[in-house]
């Protein structure tokens, strides 16, 4: 497996380590992903539902709410 981290610019890696990065997820983001046979990328709603499973006493309503709740629950303070 290639060590892709060496291709990232140092300022980006510093921001990543300092939790100053926001992942961008949108249409086409995973289009070119190399996915193992028999696996698939989750749809937006599926992603929200999978995060719900990590939250206690959380009733799923939609992906955005679940992602926000997950972020609130597991946010790391700097």
Per residue in 13-51, pLDDT (tens digit) is 898 889 888 777 666 677 677 888 998 888 888 889 999
- Report the alpha-carbon distance of residue 57 to residue 65 in Å, rounded: 14
- As a residue count, the chain comes to 78
When computed from its CA atoms, the radius of gyration of the chain, rounded to whole angstroms, is 15
- pTM for the predicted model, two decimal places: 0.55
| Average pLDDT across the chain, whole number | 84
Which one has a higher pLDDT value, 57 or 42? Answer: 57
pLDDT on residue 21: 84
The answer to whether the beta carbons of residues 47 and 30 sit under 8 Å apart is no
Half-sphere exposure of residue 21, counting CA atoms within 13 Å on the CB side?
11
pLDDT band at 3 (very low <50, low <70, confident <90, very high): confident
């Amino acid at each position: 497996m290639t060590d892709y981290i060496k291709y990232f610019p140092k300022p980006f890696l510093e921001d990543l380590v300092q939790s100053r990065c926001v992942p961008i997820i949108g249409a086409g983001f995973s289009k070119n992903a190399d996915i193992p046979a028999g696996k698939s990328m989750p749809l937006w709603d599926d992603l929200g539902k999978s995060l719900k499973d990590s939250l206690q006493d959380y009733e799923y309503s939609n992906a955005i709410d679940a992602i926000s709740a997950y972020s609130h629950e597991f946010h790391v303070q700097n």
